[in-house]
Amino acid sequence: MMYAQFASVYDELMLDIPYPVYVDLIDTALNGLMDKKILDVACGTGILSVFLAERGADITGIDLSEEMLTIAKERSKDRFPALTFLHQAMQQLDVPDKYDAAVIPIDSLNYLENLQDVSDTFHRIYEALLPGGLFMFDVHSTFKTDILFMESPFTYDSPSISYIWETDEGEEPHSVHSELAFFVRKDDECYVRFDEVHYQRTFPIMQYVELLEKTGFSVERIFADWTDDAPEDESERIFFQVRK
């Protein structure tokens, strides 16, 4: 995946994500965010990091993309200069502190293509948490990867950005290969094209549960689609709330 240009359009593409709901979910699970140390894994451009900092949390963000982190640092530098951002892959997470909570938001875990990388990530996060620490993440459902993502092409059009998104089944079960052509409008009203290739894979819910429990986590609840409801056959986004 090429991140340099994708980072420049990421914020607009995330406009429909209800980040405040994610903040409320973490807030409720921690009984308050003030002075809590939270690890924002795959933090992207720092949108969730800043929302959490606004509620008094002490945030460390990590991401694989230096370009994303550059935007995150710019976003936070005036209001929250103490925020820390580290360039790391989640499955190689290595932080010096211990945290009250860790979060992998917005299906970022689905960029790991095999169970070993998922397991390594869970173990790294477990070691980074204080006893009783919270771990929350969300993933695509198998229904979304196997059915909904196969209904491409998808299109998006705004005054500044347009894209055409085509998908195919990946080589592994419950995986999707995406090719996106972006057209970004410049000040002279011309458009510049760049292309992205993304590969995501998810796993059945019980495979995640087995890995989590093998790591040492206790599963508190599993819910779907930004609600308190349990996952159903056609749920699209599955949330896990677990505890060390």
Residue ranges and CATH numbers for the domains of the chain are: 6-141+203-243 (3.40.50.150), 143-201 (2.20.25.110)
Contact 213, 219 (CB under 8 A): yes
∠ CA 28-47-58, nearest 5°, is 55
Contact 37, 147 (CB under 8 A): no
Residue 163: CB atoms within 10 A of its CB come to 21
Alpha helices in 63-114 (DSSP H): 66-76
d(CA 225, CA 163): 25
pLDDT exceeds cutoff 60 at 2 = no
Question: Taking the CA of residue 115 as centre, how many other CA atoms within 13 Å lie in the half-sphere pointing to its CB?
Answer: 15
Mean pLDDT of the chain: 95
d(CA 38, CA 242): 15
Burial of 174 (0-12, 13-18, 19+ CB in 10 A): buried
d(CA 105, CA 114): 18
Contact 182, 161 (CB under 8 A): yes
pLDDT exceeds cutoff 70 at 3 = no
pLDDT exceeds cutoff 60 at 41 = yes
**Residue 105: cis peptide before it, omega within 30 degrees of 0:** no
Quick: pLDDT tens for 98-131.
Answer: 999 999 999 999 999 999 999 999 999 999 999 9
Q: Please report, for residues 5, 13, 162, 203, 206, the alpha-carbon distance to residue 158 in angstroms, rounded to integers and kept in the order given.
A: 17, 10, 6, 33, 39
Beta bridge partners of 178: 167, 198
pLDDT exceeds cutoff 80 at 12 = yes
pLDDT at 220: 98
Quick: pLDDT tens for 166-186.
Answer: 999 999 999 999 999 999 988
Model confidence, pTM? 0.95
